[in-house]
Structure 1
Amino acid sequence: MSLLQGLDYAAVFIFGLTGALAASRAQLDIVGFVFLACLTAVGGGTLRDVILNREAVFWVADPGMILSACVAAILVFFTAHFLESRLRTLEWLDALALGVAVPAGVGVALGMGQDWPIVLIMGVATGTFGGLMRDVVCNEVPLILKKGELYATAAFAGALAAVITTFVTDSSLLTLLTCGVTTFALRAGSLLFGWCLPVYKSRPPRA
Protein backbone atom coordinates (compact mmCIF):
# COMPACT_ATOMS: atom_id res chain seq x y z
CA MET A 1 0.00 0.00 0.00
CA SER A 2 1.38 3.40 -0.99
CA LEU A 3 1.58 6.39 1.36
CA LEU A 4 -1.20 8.23 -0.47
CA GLN A 5 -3.43 5.17 -0.49
CA GLY A 6 -2.86 4.76 3.23
CA LEU A 7 -3.80 8.40 3.84
CA ASP A 8 -6.97 7.98 1.79
CA TYR A 9 -7.94 4.86 3.75
CA ALA A 10 -7.34 6.62 7.08
CA ALA A 11 -9.31 9.69 6.01
CA VAL A 12 -12.19 7.56 4.70
CA PHE A 13 -12.47 5.55 7.91
CA ILE A 14 -12.22 8.50 10.30
CA PHE A 15 -14.54 10.71 8.26
CA GLY A 16 -16.87 7.72 8.07
CA LEU A 17 -16.95 7.65 11.87
CA THR A 18 -17.92 11.34 11.95
CA GLY A 19 -20.67 10.81 9.41
CA ALA A 20 -22.06 7.94 11.45
CA LEU A 21 -21.89 10.03 14.63
CA ALA A 22 -23.88 12.73 12.86
CA ALA A 23 -26.40 10.04 11.92
CA SER A 24 -26.62 8.95 15.55
CA ARG A 25 -27.33 12.51 16.65
CA ALA A 26 -30.11 12.64 14.03
CA GLN A 27 -31.40 9.23 15.24
CA LEU A 28 -31.31 7.63 11.78
CA ASP A 29 -31.58 3.92 10.95
CA ILE A 30 -28.68 1.72 9.85
CA VAL A 31 -29.17 2.70 6.18
CA GLY A 32 -28.94 6.35 7.17
CA PHE A 33 -25.74 5.61 9.10
CA VAL A 34 -24.13 3.94 6.08
CA PHE A 35 -25.28 6.68 3.70
CA LEU A 36 -23.95 9.53 5.84
CA ALA A 37 -20.71 7.70 6.62
CA CYS A 38 -20.00 7.05 2.93
CA LEU A 39 -21.02 10.55 1.86
CA THR A 40 -18.71 12.12 4.42
CA ALA A 41 -15.90 9.67 3.81
CA VAL A 42 -15.55 10.05 0.05
CA GLY A 43 -16.97 13.51 -0.63
CA GLY A 44 -13.74 15.48 -0.49
CA GLY A 45 -11.64 12.91 -2.31
CA THR A 46 -14.25 12.56 -5.04
CA LEU A 47 -14.28 16.31 -5.66
CA ARG A 48 -10.48 16.31 -5.79
CA ASP A 49 -10.27 13.45 -8.29
CA VAL A 50 -12.98 14.84 -10.56
CA ILE A 51 -11.40 18.29 -10.69
CA LEU A 52 -7.92 16.87 -11.30
CA ASN A 53 -9.34 14.50 -13.93
CA ARG A 54 -7.63 11.47 -12.43
CA GLU A 55 -7.86 8.25 -14.39
CA ALA A 56 -10.35 6.90 -11.83
CA VAL A 57 -11.95 8.32 -8.70
CA PHE A 58 -10.08 6.81 -5.75
CA TRP A 59 -12.94 4.74 -4.35
CA VAL A 60 -13.87 3.44 -7.82
CA ALA A 61 -10.29 2.30 -8.33
CA ASP A 62 -10.31 0.71 -4.85
CA PRO A 63 -13.83 -0.26 -3.65
CA GLY A 64 -12.32 -1.25 -0.32
CA MET A 65 -12.63 2.45 0.54
CA ILE A 66 -16.41 2.16 0.55
CA LEU A 67 -16.21 -1.01 2.64
CA SER A 68 -14.05 0.88 5.14
CA ALA A 69 -16.70 3.61 5.46
CA CYS A 70 -19.43 0.99 5.89
CA VAL A 71 -17.46 -0.69 8.68
CA ALA A 72 -17.13 2.69 10.40
CA ALA A 73 -20.89 3.21 10.13
CA ILE A 74 -21.75 -0.18 11.62
CA LEU A 75 -19.21 0.27 14.40
CA VAL A 76 -20.74 3.58 15.46
CA PHE A 77 -24.30 2.26 15.12
CA PHE A 78 -23.63 -0.27 17.89
CA THR A 79 -21.36 1.85 20.12
CA ALA A 80 -22.46 5.50 19.88
CA HIS A 81 -24.70 5.20 22.94
CA PHE A 82 -21.63 4.58 25.11
CA LEU A 83 -20.22 8.04 24.35
CA GLU A 84 -20.67 10.80 26.90
CA SER A 85 -20.74 13.51 24.23
CA ARG A 86 -21.21 12.50 20.62
CA LEU A 87 -20.81 16.09 19.41
CA ARG A 88 -17.46 16.53 21.13
CA THR A 89 -16.27 13.16 19.86
CA LEU A 90 -17.39 14.10 16.36
CA GLU A 91 -15.44 17.38 16.53
CA TRP A 92 -12.21 15.67 17.61
CA LEU A 93 -12.52 12.85 15.08
CA ASP A 94 -13.23 15.48 12.44
CA ALA A 95 -10.06 17.32 13.46
CA LEU A 96 -8.08 14.10 13.14
CA ALA A 97 -9.65 13.34 9.75
CA LEU A 98 -8.82 16.86 8.58
CA GLY A 99 -5.19 16.28 9.57
CA VAL A 100 -5.12 13.17 7.37
CA ALA A 101 -7.27 14.23 4.42
CA VAL A 102 -5.50 17.52 3.71
CA PRO A 103 -2.12 15.76 3.22
CA ALA A 104 -3.90 13.21 1.00
CA GLY A 105 -5.21 15.97 -1.25
CA VAL A 106 -1.89 17.77 -1.26
CA GLY A 107 -0.03 14.55 -2.05
CA VAL A 108 -2.24 13.69 -5.02
CA ALA A 109 -1.91 17.19 -6.48
CA LEU A 110 1.87 17.21 -6.01
CA GLY A 111 2.14 13.75 -7.52
CA MET A 112 0.35 15.00 -10.63
CA GLY A 113 2.77 17.90 -10.96
CA GLN A 114 0.19 20.60 -10.24
CA ASP A 115 1.25 24.18 -9.52
CA TRP A 116 1.14 25.39 -5.92
CA PRO A 117 -2.24 27.24 -6.12
CA ILE A 118 -3.89 23.98 -7.23
CA VAL A 119 -2.08 22.07 -4.48
CA LEU A 120 -3.52 24.48 -1.90
CA ILE A 121 -7.05 24.22 -3.27
CA MET A 122 -6.96 20.43 -3.49
CA GLY A 123 -5.70 20.15 0.06
CA VAL A 124 -8.51 22.33 1.39
CA ALA A 125 -11.18 20.69 -0.79
CA THR A 126 -10.19 17.15 0.14
CA GLY A 127 -10.18 18.01 3.83
CA THR A 128 -13.38 20.02 4.07
CA PHE A 129 -15.90 19.01 1.41
CA GLY A 130 -17.01 15.71 2.94
CA GLY A 131 -17.73 17.34 6.30
CA LEU A 132 -19.53 20.19 4.56
CA MET A 133 -21.82 17.72 2.78
CA ARG A 134 -22.43 15.84 6.04
CA ASP A 135 -23.47 18.98 7.91
CA VAL A 136 -25.70 20.25 5.10
CA VAL A 137 -27.53 16.91 4.82
CA CYS A 138 -28.03 16.87 8.61
CA ASN A 139 -29.34 20.45 8.53
CA GLU A 140 -26.49 21.66 10.74
CA VAL A 141 -24.43 24.82 10.38
CA PRO A 142 -21.31 23.49 8.60
CA LEU A 143 -18.18 23.59 10.74
CA ILE A 144 -16.45 25.39 7.90
CA LEU A 145 -18.94 28.27 8.24
CA LYS A 146 -19.14 28.60 12.02
CA LYS A 147 -18.01 31.97 13.34
CA GLY A 148 -14.26 32.23 13.53
CA GLU A 149 -13.69 28.46 13.55
CA LEU A 150 -10.17 27.45 12.49
CA TYR A 151 -11.36 24.79 10.07
CA ALA A 152 -10.80 25.81 6.46
CA THR A 153 -8.05 28.05 7.80
CA ALA A 154 -6.33 25.07 9.41
CA ALA A 155 -6.62 23.12 6.15
CA PHE A 156 -5.22 26.03 4.16
CA ALA A 157 -2.34 26.54 6.59
CA GLY A 158 -1.47 22.85 6.44
CA ALA A 159 -1.48 22.84 2.64
CA LEU A 160 0.61 26.02 2.60
CA ALA A 161 3.11 24.45 5.01
CA ALA A 162 3.41 21.52 2.62
CA VAL A 163 4.07 23.80 -0.35
CA ILE A 164 6.75 25.68 1.58
CA THR A 165 8.34 22.39 2.66
CA THR A 166 8.69 21.29 -0.97
CA PHE A 167 11.14 24.17 -1.46
CA VAL A 168 13.28 22.82 1.38
CA THR A 169 13.24 19.06 0.85
CA ASP A 170 12.35 16.46 -1.75
CA SER A 171 11.00 14.10 0.91
CA SER A 172 7.30 13.47 0.28
CA LEU A 173 6.98 11.91 3.74
CA LEU A 174 8.31 15.04 5.47
CA THR A 175 6.16 17.28 3.28
CA LEU A 176 2.95 15.42 4.08
CA LEU A 177 3.87 15.04 7.76
CA THR A 178 4.39 18.79 8.04
CA CYS A 179 1.04 19.34 6.36
CA GLY A 180 -0.82 16.97 8.67
CA VAL A 181 0.76 18.21 11.90
CA THR A 182 0.13 21.86 11.03
CA THR A 183 -3.49 21.20 10.10
CA PHE A 184 -4.30 19.14 13.18
CA ALA A 185 -2.44 21.46 15.58
CA LEU A 186 -4.40 24.50 14.46
CA ARG A 187 -7.74 22.70 14.53
CA ALA A 188 -6.98 21.18 17.93
CA GLY A 189 -5.99 24.61 19.24
CA SER A 190 -9.35 25.94 18.10
CA LEU A 191 -11.15 23.18 20.01
CA LEU A 192 -9.00 23.34 23.14
CA PHE A 193 -8.20 27.01 23.51
CA GLY A 194 -10.84 28.73 21.42
CA TRP A 195 -8.41 29.96 18.78
CA CYS A 196 -10.43 31.77 16.14
CA LEU A 197 -10.33 34.39 13.46
CA PRO A 198 -11.90 37.82 13.95
CA VAL A 199 -15.41 38.00 12.57
CA TYR A 200 -17.03 40.83 10.66
CA LYS A 201 -19.10 43.23 12.75
CA SER A 202 -21.29 45.77 11.04
CA ARG A 203 -21.07 49.32 12.27
CA PRO A 204 -24.20 51.08 13.50
CA PRO A 205 -25.67 53.45 10.92
CA ARG A 206 -24.69 57.06 11.21
CA ALA A 207 -27.27 59.49 12.45
Structure 2
Amino acid sequence: MNAALILDLFGVFFFAVSGSLLAARKGFDLVGSLLLACLVSLGGGVARDVIIGVVPVAFSNPLYLAPPLLATSLVYFLFSRLEKVSKLLVLFDAGGLALFCIVGALKAVDAGLNPVAAVLLGVTTAVGGGLLRDVVANEVPQLFNPGDIYALPAFLGAALTVVLAKLDWFNVLTGVAVAGLVFLLRVLAWRAGWQAPLATRVPRQFRPPREG
Protein backbone atom coordinates (compact mmCIF):
# COMPACT_ATOMS: atom_id res chain seq x y z
CA MET A 1 0.00 0.00 0.00
CA ASN A 2 1.67 3.23 -1.16
CA ALA A 3 1.78 6.52 0.71
CA ALA A 4 -0.69 8.28 -1.61
CA LEU A 5 -3.29 5.57 -1.03
CA ILE A 6 -2.82 5.77 2.74
CA LEU A 7 -3.22 9.57 2.69
CA ASP A 8 -6.28 9.24 0.51
CA LEU A 9 -7.93 6.68 2.80
CA PHE A 10 -7.26 8.81 5.88
CA GLY A 11 -8.75 11.80 4.08
CA VAL A 12 -11.80 9.72 3.19
CA PHE A 13 -12.20 8.72 6.83
CA PHE A 14 -11.91 12.27 8.18
CA PHE A 15 -14.43 13.63 5.71
CA ALA A 16 -16.74 10.65 6.31
CA VAL A 17 -16.78 11.39 10.05
CA SER A 18 -17.69 15.01 9.32
CA GLY A 19 -20.57 13.83 7.15
CA SER A 20 -21.88 11.38 9.76
CA LEU A 21 -21.60 14.00 12.50
CA LEU A 22 -23.62 16.45 10.44
CA ALA A 23 -26.19 13.73 9.73
CA ALA A 24 -26.46 12.98 13.45
CA ARG A 25 -26.87 16.65 14.28
CA LYS A 26 -29.60 16.92 11.64
CA GLY A 27 -31.41 13.84 12.94
CA PHE A 28 -30.87 11.68 9.85
CA ASP A 29 -31.35 7.93 10.08
CA LEU A 30 -28.47 5.46 9.79
CA VAL A 31 -28.83 5.06 6.03
CA GLY A 32 -28.84 8.82 5.58
CA SER A 33 -25.72 9.07 7.74
CA LEU A 34 -23.90 6.50 5.59
CA LEU A 35 -24.96 8.16 2.36
CA LEU A 36 -23.86 11.60 3.57
CA ALA A 37 -20.55 10.11 4.76
CA CYS A 38 -20.00 8.53 1.34
CA LEU A 39 -20.97 11.72 -0.48
CA VAL A 40 -18.57 13.99 1.39
CA SER A 41 -15.69 11.53 1.54
CA LEU A 42 -15.82 10.22 -2.03
CA GLY A 43 -17.37 13.10 -3.97
CA GLY A 44 -14.21 15.18 -4.33
CA GLY A 45 -12.13 12.18 -5.40
CA VAL A 46 -14.71 11.11 -7.98
CA ALA A 47 -14.75 14.62 -9.46
CA ARG A 48 -10.95 14.59 -9.56
CA ASP A 49 -10.72 11.24 -11.34
CA VAL A 50 -13.43 12.16 -13.85
CA ILE A 51 -11.57 15.37 -14.72
CA ILE A 52 -8.29 13.46 -15.12
CA GLY A 53 -10.10 10.91 -17.28
CA VAL A 54 -9.65 7.73 -15.25
CA VAL A 55 -12.05 5.33 -13.58
CA PRO A 56 -12.79 6.78 -10.11
CA VAL A 57 -10.89 4.82 -7.48
CA ALA A 58 -13.98 4.92 -5.28
CA PHE A 59 -15.62 2.57 -7.79
CA SER A 60 -12.62 0.39 -8.59
CA ASN A 61 -11.11 -0.17 -5.13
CA PRO A 62 -13.34 -1.71 -2.42
CA LEU A 63 -11.05 -0.29 0.27
CA TYR A 64 -12.66 3.11 -0.24
CA LEU A 65 -15.95 1.83 1.16
CA ALA A 66 -14.38 0.89 4.50
CA PRO A 67 -13.75 4.42 5.90
CA PRO A 68 -17.37 5.63 5.44
CA LEU A 69 -18.68 2.43 7.03
CA LEU A 70 -16.28 2.81 9.96
CA ALA A 71 -17.09 6.49 10.40
CA THR A 72 -20.84 5.86 10.33
CA SER A 73 -20.52 3.09 12.91
CA LEU A 74 -18.35 5.18 15.23
CA VAL A 75 -20.72 8.13 15.16
CA TYR A 76 -23.70 5.81 15.68
CA PHE A 77 -22.24 4.31 18.86
CA LEU A 78 -20.47 7.39 20.22
CA PHE A 79 -22.72 10.30 19.26
CA SER A 80 -24.59 10.36 22.58
CA ARG A 81 -21.26 10.77 24.38
CA LEU A 82 -19.89 13.43 22.07
CA GLU A 83 -19.98 17.04 23.12
CA LYS A 84 -19.44 20.11 20.99
CA VAL A 85 -20.33 18.33 17.76
CA SER A 86 -19.75 21.48 15.71
CA LYS A 87 -16.15 21.64 16.91
CA LEU A 88 -15.52 18.00 16.06
CA LEU A 89 -17.13 18.46 12.65
CA VAL A 90 -14.77 21.33 11.85
CA LEU A 91 -11.71 19.41 13.07
CA PHE A 92 -12.46 16.30 11.02
CA ASP A 93 -13.39 18.42 8.03
CA ALA A 94 -10.08 20.27 8.36
CA GLY A 95 -8.22 16.94 8.43
CA GLY A 96 -9.92 15.79 5.25
CA LEU A 97 -9.27 19.14 3.59
CA ALA A 98 -5.57 18.98 4.47
CA LEU A 99 -5.10 15.48 3.08
CA PHE A 100 -7.27 15.76 -0.02
CA CYS A 101 -5.62 18.93 -1.33
CA ILE A 102 -2.31 17.03 -1.26
CA VAL A 103 -3.60 13.81 -2.82
CA GLY A 104 -5.52 15.65 -5.51
CA ALA A 105 -2.51 17.75 -6.47
CA LEU A 106 -0.20 14.72 -6.56
CA LYS A 107 -2.56 12.74 -8.77
CA ALA A 108 -2.86 15.69 -11.12
CA VAL A 109 0.93 16.00 -11.37
CA ASP A 110 1.24 12.26 -11.99
CA ALA A 111 -1.38 12.56 -14.74
CA GLY A 112 0.77 15.16 -16.52
CA LEU A 113 -1.34 18.24 -15.84
CA ASN A 114 0.40 21.62 -15.79
CA PRO A 115 1.13 23.16 -12.36
CA VAL A 116 -1.81 25.59 -12.38
CA ALA A 117 -4.27 22.84 -13.32
CA ALA A 118 -2.75 20.56 -10.69
CA VAL A 119 -3.28 23.17 -7.97
CA LEU A 120 -6.88 23.75 -9.07
CA LEU A 121 -7.56 20.03 -9.13
CA GLY A 122 -6.09 19.67 -5.65
CA VAL A 123 -8.46 22.36 -4.39
CA THR A 124 -11.40 20.77 -6.22
CA THR A 125 -10.63 17.44 -4.55
CA ALA A 126 -10.44 19.11 -1.14
CA VAL A 127 -13.59 21.25 -1.25
CA GLY A 128 -15.84 19.24 -3.58
CA GLY A 129 -17.07 16.70 -1.05
CA GLY A 130 -17.73 19.29 1.65
CA LEU A 131 -19.72 21.38 -0.82
CA LEU A 132 -21.90 18.38 -1.72
CA ARG A 133 -22.35 17.50 1.97
CA ASP A 134 -23.56 20.95 2.94
CA VAL A 135 -25.90 21.33 -0.03
CA VAL A 136 -27.54 17.92 0.53
CA ALA A 137 -27.88 18.59 4.27
CA ASN A 138 -29.41 22.02 3.56
CA GLU A 139 -26.54 23.88 5.21
CA VAL A 140 -24.82 27.05 4.00
CA PRO A 141 -21.72 25.64 2.26
CA GLN A 142 -18.54 26.49 4.14
CA LEU A 143 -16.97 27.26 0.77
CA PHE A 144 -19.29 30.27 0.39
CA ASN A 145 -19.44 31.36 4.02
CA PRO A 146 -18.19 34.98 4.14
CA GLY A 147 -17.45 34.66 7.86
CA ASP A 148 -14.89 31.88 7.43
CA ILE A 149 -11.87 30.87 5.34
CA TYR A 150 -12.19 27.45 3.75
CA ALA A 151 -10.64 27.21 0.29
CA LEU A 152 -7.55 29.35 0.88
CA PRO A 153 -5.74 26.78 3.09
CA ALA A 154 -6.45 24.17 0.41
CA PHE A 155 -5.00 26.45 -2.27
CA LEU A 156 -1.85 26.88 -0.19
CA GLY A 157 -1.52 23.14 0.47
CA ALA A 158 -2.07 22.22 -3.18
CA ALA A 159 0.41 24.84 -4.38
CA LEU A 160 3.09 23.71 -1.93
CA THR A 161 2.51 20.09 -2.93
CA VAL A 162 2.91 20.87 -6.63
CA VAL A 163 6.13 22.83 -6.00
CA LEU A 164 7.58 20.06 -3.85
CA ALA A 165 6.58 17.40 -6.40
CA LYS A 166 8.13 19.33 -9.29
CA LEU A 167 11.37 19.74 -7.33
CA ASP A 168 11.33 16.05 -6.30
CA TRP A 169 11.24 17.15 -2.67
CA PHE A 170 7.87 15.61 -1.81
CA ASN A 171 8.14 12.78 0.70
CA VAL A 172 6.48 11.59 3.88
CA LEU A 173 8.02 14.34 6.02
CA THR A 174 7.26 17.21 3.65
CA GLY A 175 3.77 15.82 3.06
CA VAL A 176 3.05 15.70 6.79
CA ALA A 177 4.38 19.24 7.13
CA VAL A 178 2.09 20.54 4.36
CA ALA A 179 -0.92 18.69 5.79
CA GLY A 180 -0.17 20.05 9.27
CA LEU A 181 0.10 23.60 7.92
CA VAL A 182 -3.21 23.38 6.05
CA PHE A 183 -4.95 21.87 9.08
CA LEU A 184 -3.55 24.54 11.38
CA LEU A 185 -4.56 27.41 9.10
CA ARG A 186 -8.07 26.04 8.67
CA VAL A 187 -8.60 25.60 12.41
CA LEU A 188 -7.06 28.99 13.25
CA ALA A 189 -9.28 30.67 10.66
CA TRP A 190 -12.32 29.06 12.25
CA ARG A 191 -11.31 29.85 15.84
CA ALA A 192 -10.16 33.41 15.16
CA GLY A 193 -12.94 34.29 12.72
CA TRP A 194 -10.59 35.18 9.88
CA GLN A 195 -12.38 36.34 6.75
CA ALA A 196 -11.43 36.77 3.12
CA PRO A 197 -12.26 40.12 1.45
CA LEU A 198 -15.84 40.36 0.25
CA ALA A 199 -16.70 40.51 -3.44
CA THR A 200 -17.18 44.28 -3.11
CA ARG A 201 -15.69 46.95 -0.85
CA VAL A 202 -19.18 48.31 -0.13
CA PRO A 203 -20.76 46.43 2.81
CA ARG A 204 -24.01 44.69 1.90
CA GLN A 205 -26.17 46.86 4.14
CA PHE A 206 -24.89 50.00 2.41
CA ARG A 207 -25.17 48.86 -1.20
CA PRO A 208 -27.45 51.11 -3.25
CA PRO A 209 -30.64 49.45 -4.56
CA ARG A 210 -30.63 48.14 -8.10
CA GLU A 211 -32.17 50.40 -10.70
CA GLY A 212 -35.05 49.29 -12.88
Q: Shared topology, TM-score over 0.5?
A: yes
Q: Which amino acid aligns with 2:24?
A: S
- Map of 2:5 onto structure 1: 5
Check if 1:106 corresponds to 2:83: no
RMSD over equivalenced CA pairs, Å: 1.8
Instruction: For residue 166 of structure 1, report the CA deviation from its aligned partner.
Output: 4.0
Q: Which runs of no fewer than 5 residues in structure 2 stay unpaired? A: none
Q: Which runs of no fewer than 5 residues in structure 1 stay unpaired? A: none
CA distance in 1, matches of 2:82, 2:168: 43
- Map of 1:132 onto structure 2: 131
- Map of 2:16 onto structure 1: 16
Q: Which amino acid aligns with 1:130?
A: G
- Map of 1:32 onto structure 2: 32
- Asked if 2 retains the 8 angstrom alpha-carbon contact of 1:135 and 1:141, the reply is yes
- Asked if 1 retains the 8 angstrom alpha-carbon contact of 2:44 and 2:126, the reply is yes
- Asked if 1 retains the 8 angstrom alpha-carbon contact of 2:105 and 2:121, the reply is yes
Listed one character per residue, the Cα deviations across residues 106-134 of structure 1 (whole Å, up to 9, x for unaligned) are 11111112101111111101101101101
CA distance in 1, matches of 2:177, 2:46: 24
- Map of 1:142 onto structure 2: 141
Of 83-92 and 175-184, deviating more is 175-184
Secondary structure of the structure 2 residue equivalent to 1:102: helix
Q: Percent identity?
A: 34
Q: TM-score, normalised by structure 1?
A: 0.91
- Asked if 1 retains the 8 angstrom alpha-carbon contact of 2:90 and 2:187, the reply is no
Secondary structure of the structure 2 residue equivalent to 1:11: helix
- Equivalent pairs, count: 204
CA distance in 2, matches of 1:160, 1:148: 24
Secondary structure of the structure 2 residue equivalent to 1:128: helix
- Map of 1:182 onto structure 2: 181
Q: Which amino acid aligns with 1:170?
A: D
Q: In the superposition, relative to structure 1, how do residues 191 and 205 fare at CA in structure 2: closer, same or farther (>3 Å)? A: closer
Secondary structure of the structure 2 residue equivalent to 1:8: helix
- Asked if 1 retains the 8 angstrom alpha-carbon contact of 2:106 and 2:162, the reply is no
